[in-house]
């Protein structure tokens, strides 16, 4: 990844009359973290970064800017928002467009081919107690870290997020410019988590989720990090009627996670932002990938690939066997 080339392209984008601002990644304040960066001035592009540490999905900010029911007026209506997108981020934007959560004409997508982002839990175990901001990069399928004055190279399998190990879309599926060269599809490992879990008995599966859901503290970090959880009025927080109570216990936690997983069926682009944001490491993608597999195997549908396709849950097929209906 040529960072200077990316910054130069971002500067050109910000110099355009129709661009209001650009959303990208900046160096974080500590350890292996990066931070979202909002730039209006082309002279500030030196603050931008792009590396294996850029795990947050910046598409989450787009739906905070738009209100379909009350579109922007005046000068604001002419401004386009530029945003840096990895492969999975671009799929999230496509899905937002499909659902009319954002307007394609008001977006400018800066494509950032990606070779995988790190799992915060994995790297913090490799480098415990690291406080100073760390730099990182990709190198022939490995991840390179510069920390404590030293260069450390680790195999991607040891530090990348699970979803990145068998990512099928490392390059953005939708972009207005692609400043850097596309990366080769490189599947470092095949995930069999869903298949292996399905082989367990229903009793063993429930024992597993009972243990997992009991660890959840209901901080909603997963929901807030998800670019497809953008309802302004979350069903799970309504008080009248109250679908879910505030108690942090097994019953309420299970209801929250299962409801959210079904809400994302046919919509989740498997970016893994929810799982990386979870402070107690709930394996959220196991749920999401299970439903994604069901949607693909039964209907041949993958979300976030075609901005002109209808939403999965709004599509109708006359030849649907509907065998699930009793």
pLDDT tens digits, residue range 133-190? 999 999 988 999 998 889 999 999 999 998 898 898 999 999 999 998 899 887 766 6
Residues 6+ apart with CB under 8 A from 115: 52, 138, 141, 156, 164, 170, 183, 186
pLDDT value at residue 304: 94
Mean pLDDT of 86-94: 96
The residue ranges of every structural domain in the chain are 1-191, 192-313
pLDDT value at residue 111: 96
pLDDT tens digits, residue range 265-302? 999 999 999 999 999 999 999 999 999 999 998 888 99
pLDDT value at residue 77: 60
Separation between Cα atoms, residue 298 and residue 293, nearest integer Å: 8
**Bridge-partner residues for 48, per DSSP?**
26
241: preceding bond cis by omega (within 30 degrees): yes
Percent above pLDDT 70 for the chain? 92
**Bridge-partner residues for 21, per DSSP?**
81
Mean pLDDT of 200-224: 94
Q: Reply yes or no on whether the pLDDT at 322 is more than 80.
A: no
pLDDT value at residue 69: 44
% helix / strand / coil in the chain, to the nearest 5? 40, 15, 45
Separation between Cα atoms, residue 295 and residue 301, nearest integer Å: 6
Write the DSSP assignment of 238-278 as a string of letters.
-STT-SS-S--SHHHHHHHHHHHHHHTTTT-----HHHHH-
Chain centroid to CA 34: how far?
14
Half-sphere exposure (Cβ direction) of 234: Cα atoms closer than 13 Å: 12
pLDDT value at residue 66: 60
Q: What are phi and psi of 292, to 5 degrees?
A: -65, -40
Q: Among the residues of the chain, which ranges form H helices? A: 3-14, 62-65, 75-78, 87-98, 120-126, 156-159, 162-165, 193-198, 202-215, 221-225, 250-263, 273-277, 284-299
Separation between Cα atoms, residue 93 and residue 169, nearest integer Å: 14
**Bridge-partner residues for 155, per DSSP?**
142
């Amino acid at each position: 990844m040529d960072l200077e080339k990316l910054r130069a392209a971002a500067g050109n984008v910000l110099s355009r009359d129709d661009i209001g601002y650009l959303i990208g990644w900046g160096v974080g304040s500590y350890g292996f973290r990066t931070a979202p960066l909002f730039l209006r001035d082309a002279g500030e592009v030196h603050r931008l970064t792009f590396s294996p540490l850029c795990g947050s999905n910046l598409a989450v900010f787009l739906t905070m800017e738009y209100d379909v029911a009350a579109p922007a007026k005046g000068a604001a209506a002419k401004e386009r928002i530029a945003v840096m997108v990895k492969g999975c981020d671009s799929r999230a934007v496509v899905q937002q467009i499909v659902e009319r959560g954002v307007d394609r004409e008001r977006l400018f997508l800066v494509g950032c081919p990606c070779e995988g982002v790190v799992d915060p839990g994995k790297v913090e175990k490799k480098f415990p107690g690291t406080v100073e901001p760390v730099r990182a990069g990709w190198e022939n399928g490995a991840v390179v870290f510069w920390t404590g004055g030293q260069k450390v190279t680790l195999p991607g399998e040891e530090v990348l997020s699970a979803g990145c190990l068998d990512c099928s879309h490392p390059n953005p599926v939708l972009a207005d410019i692609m400043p850097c060269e596309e990366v080769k599809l490189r599947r470092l490992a095949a995930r069999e988590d869903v298949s292996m879990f399905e082989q367990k008995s229903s009793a063993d599966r429930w024992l597993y989720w009972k243990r997992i859901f009991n660890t959840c503290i209901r901080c909603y970090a997963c929901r807030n990090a998800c670019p497809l959880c953008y309802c302004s009025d979350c069903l799970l927080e309504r008080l009248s009627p109250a679908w879910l109570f505030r108690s942090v216990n097994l019953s309420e936690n299970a209801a929250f996670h299962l409801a959210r997983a079904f809400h994302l069926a046919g919509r989740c682009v498997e970016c893994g932002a929810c799982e990386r944001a979870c402070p107690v490491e709930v394996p959220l993608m196991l749920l999401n990938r299970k439903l994604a597999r069901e949607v693909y195997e039964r209907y041949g549908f993958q979300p976030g690939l075609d901005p002109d396709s209808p939403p999965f849950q709004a599509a109708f097929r006359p030849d649907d066997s509907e065998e699930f209906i009793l």
